[in-house]
Each structure stands twice: as C-alpha cells, then as structure tokens.
Amino acid sequence: MHTVRSLFGCNRLAGLVSVSLSFFAAFTRAQTAPQKADTEVVQLEAFTVSTSIESYHQTSSTMASKLPMDLKELPSSLSILNSAAITDRNAVILTDVVAYVVGATASQNSVNGFSFRGFPNTGSYTQNIQYDGLMGATLKKGGASASNVDSLEFLKGPNGVLYGQMNPGGLLNIVTKNPKETTETSIRTTFGTFAGKFNSFGDKSTETVSLDTTGPVGSSKHLFYRLVTDVGHQASSRPGNWDNSLSIYPALTYKWTPETQLALKFEASEDFRRQDDGVTPIFATATAFGPTAAYYTAPFDTVYNDAKDKAIDRGSSAAMKFQTVLPGKWNLRVQSRSVWHLDVVRELTINNANVFNPTSAFAKPTSTLRRQYNYVKNGHRYNFVDANVYHTFTTGKLTQIVLAGVGGGGEFFGNARLAFGPNQLVTQAVALTSPLLDQFAYPADGTGVTNQLTWQNALGEYISDQLKFGDSLHLSLGIRHDRQRVHGLNTLTPALTTFATELSANTKQLGLVYDLNSNFSAYTSWSQSLKPQTNIAFDTSGNSTFPPESGEQYEGGIKFDTASKNLNITLASYEINRTNVVVASGTNFTVATGAAQVGQAISRLDGKQTSKGIECEVQWQPIPNWQLQAGYAYSKAIIAASVKNPATIGMDLANAPRVSGNFWTRYNIAKGELKGLGFGSGLVYVGKAWAGDPTTTVYYNMPGWARVDSSAYYVWKRYRFSLNIQNLLDRRYIASAQSALTLNLGEQRKFTFSASTKF
C-alpha cells in the first residue's frame, strides 16, 4: 500500500506541480510589467481583514428555467450551496456537503450516490447530474473533487422539460469555475487525521493540495484563462483503506463583447482506491424481514476486502459554450459536452446473496463468507449538445420571456465482465467477525463473462414561456418532445442478445407564482419526467425491454425574503408519483436465459411508487459577521401500487428516511485583538430508514443518527486557516445501505486543517 501511495502521491504530485508551474510561469511571463528603476519606491498593497461573511443565500439562478431568474419567482424548490457555504464546510469532495442539502440523503460514496425526496439516483447512468447544464460525469464511482466547483444547485422533483431524461427525485447541477478578467492565484492545502474509537490522533491522515490561477492571457483584453489542479490522498477511517486522486481543469474564455463570448473547459481526472464493500448485517432472528428483524454487525473496523481489491476511475471531458445576441435582441446559447470515462473494479466481493455459507438469503451468526470474484470494466462515452434562443416581449402589463431549444446526443455504455464468480471454496471462506484476509489469490478469469454494449441516442425539442402579468402574477409553461433509441448486444452471444427499443414521448410542466406582497410569494406547480430503462435489467425470460419510467410531481409552497435579502425562508409541500419502476427481484439466473447470463439479477416491473412530504429551508444573516442556515424535511416514500406484490403496498423505499434535517452557523469576531477569528458549528440528523426490498426476504430497519460538526477559522493578511471537526462526538452509526446486504458506515471523528493564500 505504501509503495502504491508513494508512487501515486509523489510521481503524480511532481507531474502536477511541473505542469501547473509551467502553465503559471508562461502566463506570469506574459503579464510581467517592465522592471522599475532601483531608486523607485514600490507601494505594497495594504492588507485588510474583513469580518463580514459572504451570504449563503443566492438570489438568482439559470438552472430551473435556463433563464436568469430570481429564486422567489420560480414555481419550484431550488436549493443552492454557493462557494461560501462549500468553503465554510472545508469540503474536499462533494459528498462532504450533501448532508447539508434539505431533502437529499447519501446512499453511496459514488458521484451519483444520493437520493432526492426518497428516490435514488444510483444506476448505470448519471441522468440526474448536470455539469454547467449538460449530462456526463467524468468520474462515476469515486468522489468528485470540490476544487473546481463554484456552486451546487439542487432542483427538486421531476423537471425533464428542459433537461430530458432523469430520475424523478430531482437534478444536481454542478457549476464549475470560470476564468476571471483580473489576475488571481490561490493555493490551498489540507491535512486531515482521524481521532476516533478505532484510530488514534495521527495514525491515519489525508492530504490534498490545490492550485487555482486565473486572469487575462498576456495583455489581452479579450482572452482569459483559468487552471485548477488538485491532487490528494483521501483515505477513509476504515483499516487499510486508501484513496488517491488527481484532477486538472484548464479553461479559456474569449469575450468579443459582454454579450458575445466563447468558453472552453476541459478536465482530466483519476481516482485510485482500495475497494471496500462495507459490513454486512448479521441476523440473530429467523427472519430478515420487517420491524422485528433483529441484527447486529461485526465491529465497525471490520473489513472484508483483501488489500489487493482495487478500483480505479479515469475520465476526461471537453465542454464548450457560445453565447451572443442576435438581431432583434434574441439571445443565442450553444453548448456541448463530451466525456470519456472508464472505471475498473477487481475484488473478492460480499455484495451478493449467494456468498453466505451455508447457503442463505442473508447472514446468520453461524455464517461464513465465500466471497465472490468480480472483475468488471465499465466504459462510458457522452456527447451532448444543447442550443436555445430566448427573447423578452412586452405588451402593456404583460411581459413574457419565450425560450425555444433543441438538445440531444448519444451515450455509449460498455459493461465488460471479465469474471462474475466463482465464489471461493468452502475451505477459503472468511468469518463474519475477525476475518482472516489476504490468504488466497484470485481465481482464473472467465466465469460468467459478458461484454454488453449499449448505444443510446436522444433528441429533444422544447419550448417554455415565462409570463408576468402586472407586478404580482407569474405563469410558467413548458413542453418537450423526446425521441430516444436504445440498442445493443452482448458481443459474446450476438445472435441471442441483440435488442433495440424506441420511444417518442412528451413531458410538460406548469407553474404559477403570486406575489402576496414585496416579501411573500406563493407558488404551485406540476411537472413530469421520463427515463428509459437500462438494458442490463432482465425479466424472468431474459428480456430487457421494460417500458420507460415516468415521473409526475405536484408541488406548492411559500417563499419569503426581506428587502435586504438577509432572511430567506422556503416552505414546500409535494407529491411525486413514479411509475414503471424496475426493481431487483432478489434472485439470479441459474441458467442462461434469453439475453441474460448465469448469475445476473432477475428484475421485475413494479406498479407505482409515491413520495409525499414537506420541506423547510431557512437562511438568516442577522448581522454581517453572523450567518445561520437550517433545513427540515419530512418525506414518506412508499410503494403505492404493485400487481405482483400487493402485500408490499404502503411499505417504505430503501434509503428513504422519513425525517431529516440540518443546521449550520458561523460567527466571526468583529473587533479587538481576536478580530479575524471565527467559529462554526453544524448538526446533521437522519431518521430511521429501511434497507433491502419489501418484495424480497431481506427488508429491515436502519436506526436514525445525528452528527455534530464544528469548525474554527482565522484570517491573517492574505492567509486563511481553517480547522473543521466532523463527527465531533465520535458517534458510531450506519450511514446508509449500499445494497440489501451491505451497509456503509459513518466516518469516525476527523480533524481537517486547511491553509490557503490568495495573491
């Protein structure tokens, strides 16, 4: 492990520093002013320390409507974590801050491992994650770096009219950093260490270094650059785990005029880590189903993966955005995003029901684990384009902004299983507690081998109209038509596995906002979504021709803000209905059937799932040096209809807590000798949730949990120092269910110190 870390950390860091400094030096030389005479006095810039905190509230966004709009005029819920909120949490990867988003809960550590309003975003694709408004994750299973993130925008509920295919819980848009017109460079380094029950202070550390430099190219008044680089070692607190990452984000913007500009953004990222499947529940009762199912886990420092079990993510992307104003004051925007991605996992996994010995659907105190050999390579290619025009029309007291656009592209997904089994021999099985690891080599590849290729092409046309009647009434209308074709095959058995499905469908949305007065507005909305099914979900006949999934939401609420925007409150109530849901049946094929191979999961089409709930968000800055942010969510996400399993109606979906909430505050000392010193504190609460699937034999409760976070800040001249303590009280808790049979554990107490400077 130390050799791998050394090679990755040193060689990668050396290469990164070399590239970064070369890039930075080139621009520095291009911008260097002539030398001053020796006798000339150079006046240094005065240093000032401000105690004001940048507001966590963002007043406007283009995400919900693809138009710049005040959040108070949107007939939907949009939560934004801006750069100030992300920085104050000392975030290293984006999953560090998901817990502070109302209505969002983490289910896995991958980039799409979270749920909105009870509905998951996990799966083969990443439809619910946008990067500056277009789909395509560069990394899939590793945590995405926060170094190039300007803000995170969480749009709640199905909103497929403008963005096309998606899961109905909501969309996450990651707004990345843009080049600036003034020269600026910042360097940030972090050092973290765990200090919990299983790790003494200093036993295990994390380190990251990031560079962010931007400004004009040479003396140009039109061409601007930005280069963000980030390298780090971000191990979890689990014994033997390590995670090394490297990301480089170059960007260029050319501005002919303020209205006409072209932006180019690139990314190259890599994440290399030890694989960790978490822990498995051990059931002390005869059943693993229902509220009486009693279970325990091995001690939280128990690991079931060998040291050789590794995973790697690699990806690169190229994005373009052009905008201008056409004759007649029509605004034109054209953007594209292309992504090349590969992830590889090779491990002895416990994430399968057939690994328990003696054979059982779940682990018992007498069980051992015949871990399954798994070697998978997944490749993704995304190529998407979106173009739209909009114009503002005014007729008397009626003002409307008409937007028309077209968007689409293609995806390729290659799922190559070099091995899906066999299980280890009985003599090689490991114990549930104190497992003896690293004793046996991997078996030969070839068991359960498949090479599933899928191509998905989509084209959608959309139009929306934002109307304002007088000073108080806002009406939002939108419709989109999508045509999608999915086709593919298993290249190892092409004659048996070739398939193709097509769909042509419309999605619509309608919203109404009424300004009760200058502070209050009430809104209501209705929206739809559509998502094609993945081709690697098979019915009992081995077919993967499930109809597309659809979502529909009804939402209403009240928004409030003061004239100074220092107090902002949003209260929302919603109901989301999700139909044509494909879920795992809990059984696998024992013989090759149709397009399915031995060992692959059998899926079924469920009738309907419903999520109903309320959410409240508050942001308050009573004085410039004190800020508070809080949220509460109640969500009841259940199976609402099922033809094949009517007894499950009313049962909760997995990883969907009914109650969750968060709180964060920061205070800076405004005067005196301690000026520049600040303190922060946070609380995250996630209520009881279910794991497993009520249509199978494994369905059980996960207890609720609460975590306290704390922080301290100090600003001195150009330098900023932060100390964040996550899980201050070192609580042991199950964070979520990775699957029905594996659980993700909350991290131990962690100290993260960061130092940064800007010049």
Q: What is the pLDDT of residues 248-272, one digit of tens each?
A: 999 999 999 999 999 999 999 999 9
Q: How far is CA 732 from the centre of its chain?
A: 24
CA 37, CA 683: separation in Å to the nearest integer? 57
Whether cis (ω within 30° of 0) applies to the bond prior to 422 is yes
**pLDDT category of residue 234 using cuts at 50, 70 and 90:** confident
Identify the CA nearest to 652 among candidates 696, 698, 701.
701
Q: Return d(Cα 664, Cα 619) in angstroms, integer.
A: 10
- Mean pLDDT across 346-360: 93
Do 419 and 445 contact (CB within 8 A), yes or no? yes
* 8 Å CB contact between 249 and 148: yes
The residue-averaged pLDDT of 29-49 equals 46
111: amino acid identity, one letter: V
| Predicted pLDDT at 256 | 96
**Cα–Cα–Cα angle for 103, 109, 112, nearest 5°?**
60
Higher-confidence residue of 15 and 207: namely 207
Is 22's pLDDT higher than 70? no
The better pLDDT of the pair 583, 556 is held by 556
d(CA 400, CA 402): 6
- Element containing residue 28 per DSSP (H, E): helix 13-31
Taking the C-alpha atoms of residue 759 and residue 757, their distance in angstroms, rounded to an integer, is: 7
pLDDT score, position 584: 66
Number of domains in the chain: 1
Query: pLDDT at residue 741 above 70?
Result: yes
**Mean pLDDT score, 432-455:** 94
> Per mean pLDDT, which range of 168-172, 190-194, 529-533, 750-754 is the poorest?
529-533
Q: How far is CA 236 from the centre of its chain?
A: 18
Other beta carbons within 10 angstroms of residue 455's beta carbon come to: 17
10 Å CB burial of residue 115 (0-12, 13-18, 19+) is buried
Q: Give 192-216 pLDDT, tens digit per residue.
A: 999 988 888 888 899 999 999 999 9
Give me the pLDDT at residue 547, please: 77
What is the distance between the alpha carbons of residues 224 and 222, in angstroms, rounded to a whole number?
Answer: 7
Structure tokens at 679: 């303190």
pLDDT of 520 higher than 70: yes
Provide the CATH number for the domain around residue 299. Answer: 2.40.170.20
pLDDT > 90? residue 7: no
What is the pLDDT at residue 27?
42
Q: 128 and 166 in contact (C-beta within 8 Å)?
A: yes
pLDDT at 11 over 60: no
Maximum Cα–Cα distance across the chain = 89
Domain housing 583: 2-758
Question: How do beta strands 129-131 and 170-176 pair?
Answer: parallel
Band of pLDDT at residue 534, cut at 50, 70 and 90:
low
**Bridge partner list, 462:** 405, 480
Query: What integer pLDDT is reported at residue 37 of this predicted model?
Result: 40
